[in-house]
């Protein structure tokens, strides 16, 4: 992706020098832990990117591998990249969504306070509708590349655009309606949570089409995003974590569905094509 490595966005808040306590794993088993994080997250309003991916932090996570030592508060490559993508996505939505209101992205390390309670790196990137902020520990990008097999800067851009898709859902009331649904309506391959996540994937695809038309993308960028969408499919992540696939516990959709809806957004270039609830 073509970008300005010296870019700085006023919508990025950098808290990486303000470390919070990190959650530590133990007991319960992976499936129970994932269910607990998922349900507590929804009760607090948190909309997380990938539960199973984040749960790997509890079982041999990335603390102590030197990644954090390369990050610091202030201007750096990670902040420049996140800010550039953030501003480009939001400029796109400003031109298409009446009365669009900017979201913020908070960069943090390990844990931080949010409008939805304490946020943890363990759950991966997430959006808090209460304060209209995306929370991102940029070490997730290493997780995306090394553990999930989705390298490339546009794979990372897809993650940011997906989270900002949740901001669109906040602004139009979709996330509020889903949040107030009963637990039985949320989970499962046909559940409202899956529909919410697939719509955010579709919105990311719409932005990708816009960026492509404006000459911001390099050859292979769209493939990077599709690879990332497939990498965080519930079926793939469940099989990696537990060896089995349990559709009744899905929260984000299968790899095939996530690829499909990103492509739908990209191929049509229209937000109206992203009605996953229909």
DSSP string, 159-218: HHHHHHHHHHHHHTTHHHHHHTS-HHHHSSTTSHHHHHHHHHHHHHHHHHHHHHHTT---
C-alpha 183: how far from its chain's center? 21
Distances in whole angstroms, Cα of residue 65 to Cα of each of 139, 142, 145, 151, 218: 10, 11, 15, 19, 31
Distances in whole angstroms, Cα of residue 15 to Cα of each of 73, 79, 89, 218: 6, 11, 22, 31
Looking at beta carbons, which pairs linking 61-70 to residues 24 or more positions away fall under 8 Å?
61/25, 61/122, 62/139, 62/142, 62/143, 63/22, 63/110, 67/139, 67/142, 68/109, 68/110, 68/139
Is 266 in a helix, a strand, or coil?
helix
Q: Please give the chain's pLDDT, 278 residues, in tens.
A: 988 888 999 999 999 998 655 544 433 333 443 454 454 455 456 777 764 433 443 333 433 333 333 444 456 899 999 999 999 999 999 999 999 999 999 999 999 999 998 988 888 899 999 999 999 999 999 999 999 999 999 999 999 999 999 999 999 999 999 988 877 788 799 999 999 999 999 999 999 999 999 999 999 999 999 999 999 999 999 998 889 999 998 989 999 999 999 999 999 999 999 999 98
Q: Which helix (H) or strand (E) holds 12?
A: strand 12-14
Report the pLDDT value the prediction gives residue 183, as an integer from 0 to 100. Answer: 76
Distances in whole angstroms, Cα of residue 92 to Cα of each of 130, 131, 157, 213: 23, 21, 14, 12
Do 187 and 249 form a contact (C-beta atoms < 8 A)? yes
Do 149 and 112 form a contact (C-beta atoms < 8 A)? no
- C-alpha distance across the termini of the chain, in Å: 33
What φ, ψ does residue 105 adopt, rounded to 5°? -115, 125
Report the pLDDT value the prediction gives residue 47, as an integer from 0 to 100. Answer: 79
């Amino acid at each position: 992706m073509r970008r300005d490595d010296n870019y700085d966005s006023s919508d990025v808040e950098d808290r990486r020098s303000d470390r919070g306590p990190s959650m530590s794993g133990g007991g319960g088993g992976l499936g129970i832990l994932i269910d607990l994080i998922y349900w507590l997250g929804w009760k607090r309003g948190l909309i997380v990117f990938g539960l199973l991916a984040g749960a790997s932090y509890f079982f041999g996570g990335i603390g102590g591998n030197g990644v954090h030592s390369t990050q610091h508060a202030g201007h750096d490559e990670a902040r420049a990249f996140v800010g550039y993508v953030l501003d480009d996505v939001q400029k796109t939505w400003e031109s298409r969504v009446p009365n669009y209101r900017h979201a913020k992205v908070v960069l943090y390390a390990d844990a931080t306070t949010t409008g939805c309670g304490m946020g943890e790196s363990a759950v991966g990137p997430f959006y808090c509708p209460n304060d209209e902020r995306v929370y991102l520990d940029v070490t997730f990008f290493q997780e995306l590349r090394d553990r999930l097999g989705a390298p490339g800067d546009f794979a990372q851009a897809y993650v940011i655009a997906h989270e900002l898709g949740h901001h669109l859902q906040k602004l139009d009331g979709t996330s509020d309606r889903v949040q107030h649904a009963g637990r039985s309506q949320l989970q499962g391959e046909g559940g409202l949570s899956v529909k919410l996540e697939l719509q955010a994937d579709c919105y990311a695809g719409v932005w990708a089409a816009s960026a492509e038309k404006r000459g911001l993308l390099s050859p292979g960028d769209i493939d990077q995003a599709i690879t990332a969408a497939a990498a965080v499919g519930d079926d793939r992540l469940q099989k990696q974590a537990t060896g089995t696939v349990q559709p009744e516990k899905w929260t984000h959709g299968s790899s095939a569905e996530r690829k499909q809806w990103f492509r739908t957004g990209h191929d049509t270039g229209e937000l109206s094509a992203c009605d996953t609830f229909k």
